[in-house]
Chains A and B, each alone.
Chain A
Amino acid sequence: AQKITQTQPGMFVQEKEAVTLDCTYDTSDQSYGLFWYKQPSSGEMIFLIYQGSYDEQNATEGRYSLNFQKARKSANLVISASQLGDSAMYFCAMNAFEYGNKLVFGAGTILRVKS
């Protein structure tokens, strides 16, 4: 079975500062993927970043980076230089090839960027 835990229901960050959103996962699979999605109030789920379980380097996509610590089973999202448009719900998710690649999501973290 797979499980994602996001322990921060809500976070505030000052504009232009960096913020870390926490995610821990549990799986017995050796091959899996970790994802972060952003969901603004409009409802669309926007793909941000992906980390494969065998990737040795932490993934980066523009202002987003994923702090992958395999031994601790954590996959935290770091957003640098926060912008007002970053205010949204953020979901951590994982899938595994052995389970047909279906995504298992955490409960989400609401991020609010203050000006």
Chain B
Amino acid sequence: EAGVAQSPRYKIIEKRQSVAFWCNPISGHATLYWYQQILGQGPKLLIQFQNNGVVDDSQLPKDRFSAERLKGVDSTLKIQPAKLEDSAVYLCASSLDVKGRTDTQYFGPGTRLTVL
């Protein structure tokens, strides 16, 4: 079974530029998550989708970050314009969405963003 796919793996941009990340979850997984992991910290949830609807985007900086999951499968996360503090690893995860119980999330390899 294929895992969570992400691209690109690395990206270097200058501040004020825009950047987009792509994620394809494990086949059949209804829920998709984007996390931001700043160096030396644990990941922090940015946005959670269930199918193509947003479940939680309370920690997404909506003035510069946007995300979509149009057909309920793959997803893109965009930053525009980027700031220095956006330098981080962006992790995508997916889970099966088992009703009535907690669920295991499986992560992709991440995209390491450097903003200069």
Q: How many residues of B contact A (CB 8 A)?
A: 28
What 1/0 mask marks residues of chain B from 18 to 48 whose CB sits below 8 Å from any chain A CB? 0000000000000101010000011111001
Is A47 in contact with chain B by the CB < 8 A criterion? Answer: yes
A45 and B56 in contact (CB under 8 A), knowing A52-B101, A96-B102, A108-B42? no
Interface size on A, residues (CB 8 A): 27
Closest to B100 in A: A97
Contact A101 B110 (CB under 8 A): no
| Residue contact A35 to B104, C-beta cutoff 8 Å | yes
Closest CB in chain B relative to A114 CB, distance in Å: 23
Give per-residue flags for A79-112: 1 if the beta carbon is below 8 A from chain B beta carbons, else 0: 0000000000001010111001111011110000
Q: Which of A11-19, A36-44, A69-77 is near enough to bind chain B?
A: A36-44
**Residues from chain B with Cβ under 8 Å of A101 in the complex:** 31, 48, 95, 97, 102-103, 105
Q: Closest chain A residue to B41 by CB distance?
A: A107
A93–B45 alpha-carbon span in the complex (Å): 12
Question: In whole angstroms, how far apart are the Cα atoms of A2 and B93 in the complex?
Answer: 20
**Chain B residue, CB-CB nearest to A108:** B42
Known contacts A31-B101, A100-B56, A103-B105, A45 near B43 by CB under 8 Å: yes
User: Could you tell me the distance between the alpha carbons of A44 and B91 in the complex, rounded to whole angstroms?
Assistant: 8
Q: Contacts A43-B89, A43-B110, A45-B91: A102 and B45 contacting too (C-beta < 8 A)?
A: yes
CB contact list, B54-103 vs A, under 8 A: 55-56, 89, 91, 93, 95, 97, 100-103
Cβ of A25 < 8 Å from any Cβ of B? Answer: no
**Are the C-beta atoms of A105 and B42 separated by less than 8 Å?**
yes
| Bound-state Cα–Cα, A45 to B91, Å | 8
Q: How far is the CA of A86 from the CA of B110 in the complex (A)?
A: 20
Write 29 A-B pairs (CB below 8 A) sorted by A numbering.
A4-B42, A33-B102, A33-B104, A35-B105, A43-B89, A43-B110, A44-B107, A44-B108, A45-B43, A45-B93, A47-B104, A47-B107, A50-B104, A96-B102, A100-B55, A101-B48, A101-B95, A101-B102, A101-B103, A101-B105, A102-B33, A102-B45, A103-B33, A103-B35, A103-B93, A105-B43, A106-B42, A107-B42, A108-B41
